[in-house]
Amino acid sequence: MSVKQMICVLLYLSLAPGLLYACATPASTAPVASDRLSRVADKVEIVYFHRHRRCEACIFAEQRISYIVNTFFEDELQSGKLTFEVYDLGDKNSAATASKYGAIGTQLFINAIEDGVDHIRHIQEIWHWGCIDNESVFDATVKNVIQKALYGG
């Protein structure tokens, strides 16, 4: 087994318990899920949560998401149609926002707001194999879900 494969296996094993726990979270604590991607949103919030102790994958994800938002959606950021926030789940000041989104670990959420109504979606696909270890696939995945949230599709 190569060093890269070993690192990927260790990364997966370290993320798996959190992902399993997130999938087992009772519906009462989960955010309002929505696949509402057919209409244009009034505003889109990109919200990234991380644990206080961070691994390379979580740091990579935050850096790439920030790059994508600032590179491809600069006009939307400047107009206020799009926002990007990062929260440390170890910071008690993040508690209300984490509760709103149902965040319990390193997670990405996109909230497409229409007529004052939140349509929160947990973007789990960024953690799938072929995404976190492949910058171009990761970038395309995140860019695509942001475009759909902003402009429908």
pTM for the whole thing?
A: 0.73
Q: Residue 111: which H helix or E strand, with range?
A: strand 107-113
Give CA torsion, residues 105, 106, 108, 113, to 10 deg: 40
Domains of the chain: 3-151 (3.40.30.10)
Q: What is the pLDDT along the chain (153 residues), one digit of tens a residue?
A: 544 444 444 444 444 444 333 333 333 333 444 444 456 789 999 999 999 888 888 899 999 999 999 999 999 999 999 999 999 999 999 999 999 999 999 999 999 999 899 999 999 988 876 777 788 989 999 999 999 999 886
Q: Residue 48: which H helix or E strand, with range?
A: strand 43-50
Question: Is the distance from CB of 45 to CB of 113 less than 8 angstroms?
Answer: yes
